[in-house]
Amino acid sequence: MNQKTMIPTASVAATQAALTQARIAIISANWHSDVVHQARDAATQRLQELGAARSSIQHIEVPGAFEIPLMAQKLAASGQFDAVIGCAVIVNGGIYHHEFVSTAVVDGLMRVQLDTGVPVFSVALTPYNFQPSEDLLGFFRAHFVKKGEEAANSCAETLAAHAAVDALLQEVAAA
């Protein structure tokens, strides 16, 4: 095998091409939806800016973060989606419950992508000091916008990288 073969970071054109046909699901927890939907909406907007059609992005609501991995598994295993993004706030209630939930959610999302081959992205965040004051809510809303955009960028680049690797594997198989 040619050891010089490298897959570079996806170009803008490759990213746009990958998103043109991509179907993406964004799962949002309803707990603190005023914050969570900032990530969902920012991811949707950024994906569209990068070339995804609005009609190819589906929004799915679940009660909380804990329900996201199972829904991600159902969507990924359906063969109808090329990527899944999960968005949630996992509140630190002071009794360490948030640590178990956040670990279960992230581990579950990783398991979904390893089991299905469908890329899964997490915007399931556990703020250190989540308080419902207007100042902090403003901070978290802005932070979730940024994290939604970052998830969309990662999703787009990953889909482009997968397309490049698929092309490489076809080339190697044909040789």
Output the domain CATH number for residue 157: 3.40.50.960
CA distances from 168 to 70, 114, 173 (A): 32, 21, 9
Q: Is residue 8 part of a domain?
A: no
User: What is the average per-residue pLDDT within 38-58?
Assistant: 96
Question: What are the backbone dihedrals phi and psi of residue 60, each rounded to the nearest 5 degrees, phi first?
Answer: -125, 135
Report yes or no on 54 lying in a domain: yes
Higher model confidence: residue 134 or residue 128? 134
Q: Which domain range does residue 74 map to?
A: 22-174
Looking at per-residue pLDDT, the higher value among 96 and 45 belongs to: 45
- Which pLDDT score, from 0 to 100, does residue 140 have? 82
Q: Output DSSP code: residue 64.
A: S
Q: How far apart are CA 28 and CA 102, in angstroms?
A: 15
Domain annotation covers residue 123: yes
With a CB cutoff of 8 Å and minimum separation 6, the contacts of 71 are: 27, 60, 62
pLDDT of residue 137: 79
Sequence-distant (6+) residues with CB within 8 A of 127 are 89, 91, 92, 140
Domain membership flag for residue 43 = yes
Pairwise pLDDT comparison (118 vs 92), residue with the higher score: 118
Is residue 16 situated within a structural domain? Answer: no
pLDDT band at 103 (very low <50, low <70, confident <90, very high): confident
Whether residue 156 is predicted with pLDDT greater than 80 in this model: the reply is yes
Position 96 pLDDT exceeds 60: no
Residue 17 lies in a domain: no
CA distances from 87 to 60, 91, 99, 142 (A): 10, 13, 16, 14
- For the question of whether the overall pTM of this predicted structure is more than 0.75, the answer is yes
- When divided into structural domains, the chain yields a total of 1
Give domain status of residue 121, yes or no: yes
* Phi, psi values for residue 2, rounded to 5°: -75, 110
In a domain, 14, yes or no: no
> Can you name the residues that pair with 122 across neighbouring β-strands?
86
Total residue length of the chain? 175
Q: Per-residue pLDDT averaged across 149-162, rounded?
A: 94
